[in-house]
Amino acid sequence: MDAKTNSHETPSWLGRTLLAVGISGAAFAALCCVAPFLVAGLVTALGLGFILNDALLIGLLVVFIGVAALGYYVVRRQTCV
């Protein structure tokens, strides 16, 4: 164990995964809010037509932005320490 490795550090893949999931989920929710006709066919074909409700999409957008912010925090904490 070298001097830079701490036992309480999170794995490096965790921050990157949270960041990727957060950004892609936020992009999908924003796309559904702005232009639902672009993804309506795909979402409905998968049986997820209820997602096209604007109140649900705004909530999903906020949650995914939070996940992306958490992933960014984890990545920055690892690179700055």
Over residues 11-49, the pLDDT tens digits come to 678 889 999 999 999 998 888 888 878 888 888 888 888
Residues 6 or more apart whose Cβ sits within 8 Å of residue 37? none
User: What integer is the mean pLDDT of 50-78?
Assistant: 89
Mean of per-residue pLDDT scores for the chain: 83
Residue 66, both tokens: 């939070």
- % of residues, the chain, pLDDT over 70: 84
Is the confidence at residue 3, as pLDDT, over 90? no
Q: Is 34 exposed, middle or buried (0-12, 13-18, 19+ CB in 10 A)?
A: exposed
Amino acid 1: pLDDT = 44
Amino acid 23: pLDDT = 94
For residues 40 and 26, give the distance between their C-alpha atoms in angstroms, rounded to a whole number. Answer: 17
Give 49-56 contacts, CB < 8 A, sequence gap 24+: none
